[in-house]
Structure 1
Amino acid sequence: MRLAFMGTPDFAVPSLAELIASGHEVVAVYSQPPKPRGRGQKLTPSPVHAFAETMGLPVFTPASMKAPDAIETFASLDLDAACVVAYGQILKAEVLSAPRLGCFNLHGSLLPRWRGAAPIQRAIMAGDRQTGVQIMRMSEGLDEGAILLSEVLPIAPDDTAATLSDRMATTGATLWTRALAAIERGGVTETEQAGEVTYARKITPAEARIDWTRPAAELDCHIRGLSPFPGAWFEAPGPDGPVRVKALMSAPVAQGSGAPGEVLDGDLLIGTGDGAVRLLRVQREGKAAQGPADFLRGFALPVGTILG
């Protein structure tokens, strides 16, 4: 099939690689424009953009797919279909209807649960036991389209947003070949979404701060769901004032008890509103991530210290 691929982050790269390996003709790759990164603020292409260039594919990075010239260029590609994975832009009706067979999206949840921007993080933060990847026909509504294919994945007790995202990206990529073959022959069954709708709103910096009054099980989900980015964080008392520390991995400890935010031992066991949570991986600002022993060698947190 003659395809356009639209995606931006690492999560989308396995899908593009799968489409290329399957022998489809990817005539255009769309991605978000390069962004300034690093100390020099050098413009850096997205992971999809960079991968597409290594494969010799033409890349388009319009600031807005709502612009008339962007819509005109897309329509002129004479596509059979467009495959979309975490592109990061809303597509208007003129774009969705331009390919002969339509536009299709790989979404990282079991819709209609967790429609929106951060489905993987929100699933872990909510304590969900399972999630999945689905290919749906795109409509103008936010993740409201009919479902073509699904694959259910368990969420492990030690999953972070990073580990779960990697598994989902790999599994989701394998759905494209089956989905496109069924679409092309007209044999695909499209199932309308049913059930309670929940929205995975974008993660805000304010909600990343750890509230130690919450139960340990909830805090563990909060920490793992935000790891590695943006990272759940707390403040620890330093010699020159409060120091921000990210918690990147944790485990709830039912038998622990203490005041919320209280350091309970020399191995980063921290009291919460109900039980305690052990911090297994932490990171100070400007430093590498560390385990408890290495962290505490360079940053003392005596038992009884209260974290903010």
Structure 2
Amino acid sequence: MRLAFMGTPDFAVPALYALHDAGHKIVAVYTQPPRPAGRGQALRPSPVQHAAETLGIPVRCPVRVKKNQEELEAFAALELDAAVVAAYGLILPAEMLDAPKLGCLNIHASLLPRWRGASPIQSAILAGDTESGVTIMQMDVGLDTGAILASVPVPVTAETTASSLHDELAALGAKMIVEVLAARPPAVPQPESGVTYAVRLTKEDGRIDWRQPAAAIDRQVRALTPWPGAFTTLGDVVLKIGAVLPVGAVDSGLPGEVVDEALTVVCGGGTGLRIARLQRPGRGMVEAAAYLRGQQVAIGTVLGGD
């Protein structure tokens, strides 16, 4: 098929390669413009742009596509069979959705209609869902409201992290979009019940509230690492928390209080957890034992006390 591919982050890259390897003619890749990154704030192209350039596919990086007549005309002139969209980051107007013969197909990292919106992977872990998955959707003008072409679940366990689930769903989505384009299954409207929305995350979502039960904090850490990152404070120092281990009930102590030399911390409801990995500003993420060799944390210290 004659395709355009529209995506920006790492999640979209396996699908681009899978479509290319399947023999589809990808005539254009749309992605977000390069952004400042790193200490020098040099402009860095998106992972999808880097992949497209490696494959020799022309890349377009419009700042916006809505009410952008030049882009709308350029897109229509591609004479596409379909456009494949995966975490592109821009809302497509009706003119673009309707331009390809088969419309625009979206690779979405949830089992729609659960977790429509910006952060489906993190939201599934935060909520304690026991499964996630990928939906291939026929796009319409709504927010992830289009009809479903295919949907495949994957389990979410107590060890699942945002990183591991991201990689699993990215690989699954790449496989599914190739299959959908080959089989062209009928589109089934989404159920009207069970709709939930995944909000756009901010850094503040990573702040740990030690009054929450250990299980909820464990989900927060697993869901928000590496971004926006779970964190707490030790005095005036911000500590990123990379991994924790719930330890069950603790006898006593205030929420956030360190109760032993292994960095076991009191949580809400009489529960506790042990900090397994953490990071000081300007340093790398390390195991708790390595951190404690250079920075003692006294028993009785209360984290997040600011």
Question: Shorter-chain TM-score: what band?
Answer: over 0.9
RMSD value over aligned CA atoms?
A: 0.9
Counterpart of 1:220, as a letter, is: D
TM alignment of 1:1-308, pairs within 5 A: 1-66=1-66, 67-183=68-184, 188-194=185-191, 195-237=193-235, 242-257=236-251, 258-274=253-269, 275-308=271-304
* Whole-angstrom distance in 2 between the partners of 1:111 and 1:125: 17
For residues 65-106 of structure 1, what are the alpha-carbon distances to aligned partners after superposition, in whole Å with 9 as ceiling and x for unaligned? 111111111111010000000000000000000101100000
Secondary structure at 1:175's aligned position in 2? helix
* Whole-angstrom distance in 1 between the partners of 2:140 and 2:242: 36
* TM-score between both structures, scaled by the size of structure 1: 0.95
Counterpart of 1:138, as a letter, is: M
Secondary structure at 2:85's aligned position in 1? strand
Point out 4+ residue stretches in structure 1 off by more than 2 angstroms.
Answer: 255-258
Counterpart of 1:299, as a letter, is: Q
* Whole-angstrom distance in 2 between the partners of 1:81 and 1:171: 20
* Whole-angstrom distance in 2 between the partners of 1:144 and 1:69: 27
* Whole-angstrom distance in 1 between the partners of 2:45 and 2:138: 28
How far apart are 1:255 and its partner, in Å?
2.8
Q: How many residues align?
A: 300
For residues 162-217 of structure 1, what are the alpha-carbon distances to aligned partners after superposition, in whole Å with 9 as ceiling and x for unaligned? 1110111011110011100122xxxx121111122110001122221100001111
Q: Percent identity?
A: 51
Structure 1 gap segments, 5+ residues each: none
CA contact (8 A) 2:205 2:228 kept: no
Secondary structure at 1:124's aligned position in 2? helix
Counterpart of 1:97, as a letter, is: D
Structure 2 gap segments, 5+ residues each: none
Secondary structure at 2:249's aligned position in 1? coil
For residues 104-158 of structure 1, what are the alpha-carbon distances to aligned partners after superposition, in whole Å with 9 as ceiling and x for unaligned? 0000001111000000001101111111101000000000001111110001211
* Whole-angstrom distance in 2 between the partners of 1:283 and 1:160: 18
For residues 51-71 of structure 1, what are the alpha-carbon distances to aligned partners after superposition, in whole Å with 9 as ceiling and x for unaligned? 110111100000001111111
Counterpart of 2:295, as a letter, is: F
Counterpart of 2:255, as a letter, is: P
* Whole-angstrom distance in 1 between the partners of 2:195 and 2:177: 25
* Whole-angstrom distance in 2 between the partners of 1:71 and 1:26: 18
CA contact (8 A) 2:203 2:229 kept: no
* Whole-angstrom distance in 2 between the partners of 1:57 and 1:156: 38
Counterpart of 2:259, as a letter, is: L
